[in-house]
Amino acid sequence: MNAKFKPVVDALTNLALWFERRLHIVKIWESSAGHPIPKSSASWFYTFGSMTLLCFVIQILTGILLALVYIPSPSQAYQSLDYLNYQVQLGWFLRAVHYWGSNCMVVVMFFHMTQVFLWGAYKYPRELTWISGIVLMLLTLGLAFTGQVMRFDADAYWGIGIGAAIFGRVPFIGAQLVDLLLGGPIIGSETLSRFFALHVFVLPGSVLALVALHLRLVLMKGINEYPKPGVQVNRKTYDTEYNEILKKEGIPFAPHGIGKDIVASGVILLVILGLAIFVGPSGPRIPADPTQVISEPRPDYPFLWIFAAAALVPNGSEVALFFVAPTIAMILLFALPFISNEGEKHWSRRPVAILTVVTSYLGLALLTYGGMTGPWSPHMEAWSSQATKSQFIKGRTPLELQGAVVFQNKQCRNCHAVGGGGGTRGPDLTQVGTRMTEPQLIRQVIQGGGNMPSYGKNLTPPEVKALTAYLVSLRPPGAAPAQDTTLVHGK
Amino acid sequence: MNSDHPPLSPEAKKYSTRRDFLLQVGVLLNTVAAFLIGIPLIGFILASIIQTPPPTWFSLGPASKFPRGTTRRAVYTNPYRKPADGDTAILTCWVRHSEEDTFQVFAANCTHLGCPVRWFEESQIFLCPCHGGAFYADGSRAAGPPPRGLYVYEHKLENGELKIKAGVLPNLARPS
C-alpha cells in the first residue's frame, strides 16, 4: 500500500471499528445475510422468492412517489392520473413501473409458490413458512385488486359494483358487507378512500410484517436443501440430517450463495423496465361516470380467470364459485404442510404434485385466455357497426331480404355471428339453414330457450316469418336445407 | 437478575410487593383504556353499516319527459351526495312508461353481477354487456345468468313529477 494513504486508511478503519463496537454489524450480518445454506440450494430455481421481494420493494418506492401526486377522491383521481401521464415529468414512467411491477410480482410470486410446492419445501419443519407464504399471496392479490381500483376509471367503478354484487350474495349479512365494502349505501368518495387506505397502509403494512415472519422462519429453519429422489423427510431425524448437510456443504448465503439471486433480480428489474418503457402505463381508460352505461368492465390480468369462471359456471352456481370453492381452496392450501408433512420431497417421486401444478396452470391459462377474449359477452354494437356481407344478401328473395333487415335491426347480431361478424354469445348462424328447419327456427325465435330470450312478444308474425326465411337461406352454396328427421321417419 | 439482591425469603414471598401491585394496577388501567379507545374505533369502522341512510324520495323531473310507450334513461343526482363524490354522484336508471300508462323504474345494475344493462329499443330487450344477461321490457328476467328480474325502484307521481325512492346501490341482499 502506498504509505501516503496509510493515515487515511487507518482513520477510516478506526471509524468503521467504532461503529462496529457499538452496532455489532458483523454479528447481525452473520446471523442474517450470511446464514449458512446447503451448497445445492444456491440454485436458479431458488431465486423466485428474492425476486418477489424485490418487486415488492419496487412497488413501495414507486407507490410512495405516486402518492405525491395522486388524489384519492372520485372527483380528482382520474384527473390526477391523467396529469401524471401527460404533464408530470416522468409521471407516465412511474405509473408504468408500478403497474408492471405489480403484474411481475404476482407472476413471480406464483412461480415461487410452484417451486416451493414441487421441491417439497413446505414439509417438516417449514410448515409455518408455507402458511405465512399463503397469507402473503392473499395480501399480494389484495394489493393487486385494490390497486386497479385506484385507477378509478369505468372498469374500476363497475369492478367495485361487481364486488358489491358478489358480497350481496352472502347469506344473512350480505347487505351489511356491501355497506362495509362501499363505506356507505352507494359507490362514492368514501369507497375510493377506503380502498386507498387498504392499498397504501393496511395491506403493505401487513405484507411487511408477514415478510419479516417469512424471512425469520427461513433463517431459523434454514432454506430447503435441494431434494434428492428417494430421500425421505422424517420428523424424528430431519433436523439432525439438515445440520449434517450444513456441516458438510454449508456456505454462507452472502456472499457465496447469493450470486444467482442477484442475477435474477437484475433480470426481473430489466423485464419491468422494458415493459414499462415499451408498453407503458395502464389507463386510466373511460372515466368512472355511472351514467355511461356503455361500459364493459373487465379486471386486470391477475383476476381475469375469476371473471371467466364467473361467466362459465352454470347459472345459479355463483355461491359455489365465490364462496364454497375459495373456502375449500384455502383449507387445502393451509392444510397442505400437515396433509403431506413427511416423505418424498423430489418432484419426480410425487406425481400428484406434478398433476396439481399442470392442471392448475392449464386451468388458469385457459380461463385467463377466456377472460381476455370474453366470447360469452355480447357485442353490444355489432348490430349497428357491422354490415352484413354481400354473400349473405346476394340472390335472396324479397322475403328473405326483409328477414336480413329484421336480423340486423333487432340486434340478433349482438349475440349471433354471421360470416365472422357479430357476437359469440349465441351460436354462429353462418350455416344455420343446414342444421335447423324453418319450424324449429320459428320455435326458437318465439320461445327462446337456454341463454336466448323469447322474442314472441317483441316481433310481429310477419317479422318472424321473414327472419326465419332468411335464416333458412343461410347455407353454403349448393347445400340442402335441414330436414326434420323425426317427421321423415314418422311418415 | 442483579446479584446484589438476595433472593426473596419464603416469608417475603407471601406478601405482594408494591411492584406487584403496580403491575396489576397498570394492567387494569391499560385494559380499561384500551376498551375506551377501541370500542369507538370499532364503531367508526362499522359506521357505514350502523348509519346507512335509507332510500329516500326524490324527483326524476316532469313525467312528460317519459312519453307513453317508451323506455328512457333518466339521470339523477345521488340524494346523499358528498363533496368529493365527483361524477359518481350522478346516477342513472331506466324509466318505462308503458302503453297502459303505468310507470316502472329499473336500476341500471344487472342482477347477476351488477354490470350496467343497456336498453335496446328495437328488440325491446335490456342486455347486459358482461355475461349476456337479458331482461324483457317489463324488467322480468329473459335469459342468461341473472337470478331474477331487474331491480325496481319504488315510484310515485306528484304534481306531474316522477319521484323514485333510491340512493342505495341495489344488490341481491337489498334489492332496493
Looking at residue A488, what is its pLDDT? 60
In a mutational test of the B interface, the residue from A153, A166, A178, A380 whose CB has the highest number of chain B CBs within 10 Å is: A178
Contact pairs from chain A to chain B, CB under 8 Å: 200
Q: Which residues pair with B37 in a beta bridge?
A: none
- Chain B contacts of A450, Cβ < 8 Å? 143
- Fold for the domain defined by A33-373: Cytochrome Bc1 Complex; Chain C (1.20.810)
Whether B124 sits inside 8 A of A167 (CB atoms) is no
Distance CA A264, CA A257 (A): 13
Whether A288 sits inside 8 A of B88 (CB atoms) is yes
Q: Does B168 touch chain A (CB under 8 A)?
A: yes
Chain A nearest-CA residue for B128: A378
Alpha-carbon Rg for chain A in angstroms:
30
Q: Does B77 touch chain A (CB under 8 A)?
A: no
- Torsion angle in degrees (nearest 10) through CA of B168, A283, A142, A68: -100
Half-sphere exposure (Cβ direction) of B112: Cα atoms closer than 13 Å: 27
Find where cell 399463503 sits: A134
Residue B101 CB neighbour total at 10 angstroms: 8
Chain A nearest-CA residue for B123: A410
In this structure, what C-alpha cell is assigned to residue A131?
Answer: 402458511
Q: Comparing A6-10, A317-321, B22-26, which segment has the lowest mean pLDDT?
A: A317-321
- pLDDT, average across residues A260-277: 97
Name the residue facing B115 among A297, A412, A423 (closest C-beta).
Answer: A297
Task: Residue window 46-65, chain B: list those with CB within 8 Å of chain A.
Answer: 46, 48-49, 52-53, 55
**Which of A246, A160, A293 is closest to B94 using CA atoms?**
A293
- Chain A contacts of B138, Cβ < 8 Å? none
Residue type, B7: P
Please report which confidence band the pLDDT of residue A421 belongs to, taking 50, 70 and 90 as the band edges.
confident
Looking at residue B1, what is its pLDDT? 45
How far are the Cα atoms of A11, A12, A14, B142 from residue A2, in angstroms, in the given order? 15, 15, 18, 90
- pLDDT, average across residues A245-269: 94
In this structure, what C-alpha cell is assigned to residue A224?
Answer: 430447503
For chain B, residues with pLDDT lower than 70 are: 1-15
Distance, in angstroms, between A134 CA and closest chain B CA?
26
Distance CA A190, CA B47 (A): 12
Whether B92 sits inside 8 A of A288 (CB atoms) is no
The whole-chain average pLDDT of chain A stands at 93
Chain B nearest-CA residue for A189: B85
Q: For the purposes of burial, counting CB atoms within 10 Å of the CB of A126, is it exposed (0-12), middle (13-18) or buried (19 or more)? A: buried
Looking at residue B122, what is its pLDDT? 93
Distance CA A198, CA A207 (A): 12
Query: What is the length of chain B?
Result: 176
Distance, in angstroms, between A326 CA and closest chain B CA?
18
Distance CA A128, CA A117 (A): 14
Name the residue facing A186 among B118, B127, B167 (closest C-beta).
Answer: B167
Whether A410 sits inside 8 A of B89 (CB atoms) is no
* Domain A382-490, CATH class in plain words: mainly alpha
Angle at which helices A48-67 and A91-118 cross, to 10°: 150
- pLDDT, average across residues A44-62: 97
pLDDT above 80 for A126? yes
Angle at which helices A351-373 and A301-312 cross, to 10°: 90
ipTM of the complex: 0.88
Please report which confidence band the pLDDT of residue A271 belongs to, taking 50, 70 and 90 as the band edges.
very high
Q: Does B41 touch chain A (CB under 8 A)?
A: no
Query: In this predicted model, what pLDDT tens digit does every residue of A132-151 receive, in sequence order?
Result: 999 999 999 999 999 999 99
Residue type, B114: G
- pLDDT, average across residues A239-258: 93
Name the residue facing A183 among B48, B89, B172 (closest C-beta).
Answer: B48
How far are the Cα atoms of A177, A284, A309, A467 from residue A68, in angstroms, in the given order? 32, 18, 37, 60
How far are the Cα atoms of A217, A308, A321, A411, A449 from residue A315, in angstroms, in the given order? 45, 13, 11, 23, 13
Whether B92 sits inside 8 A of A73 (CB atoms) is no
Residue type, A319: V
What percentage of chain A has pLDDT greater than the value 90?
Answer: 78
Half-sphere exposure (Cβ direction) of A314: Cα atoms closer than 13 Å: 2
Looking at residue A491, what is its pLDDT? 46
- pLDDT, average across residues A396-415: 94
Q: Does B6 touch chain A (CB under 8 A)?
A: no
The CATH number for B56-166, chosen from 2.60.120.10, 3.40.50.1220, 3.20.20.140, 2.102.10.10, is 2.102.10.10
Chain B nearest-CA residue for A412: B123
Contact present, A74 and A152 (Cβ < 8 Å): yes
Q: Does B133 touch chain A (CB under 8 A)?
A: no
Whether A410 sits inside 8 A of B112 (CB atoms) is no
Report the run of H or E that residue A155 belongs to, with start and end.
Answer: helix A154-167
Name the residue facing B114 among A165, A448, A451 (closest C-beta).
Answer: A165
Q: Tell me the torsion sign for CA atoms A16, A20, A21, A22.
A: positive
Looking at residue A264, what is its pLDDT? 97
How far are the Cα atoms of A166, A191, B32, B45, B64 from residue B40, in angstroms, in the given order? 29, 21, 13, 9, 49
- Chain A contacts of B130, Cβ < 8 Å? 162, 296-297, 311, 377
Whether A453 sits inside 8 A of B134 (CB atoms) is yes
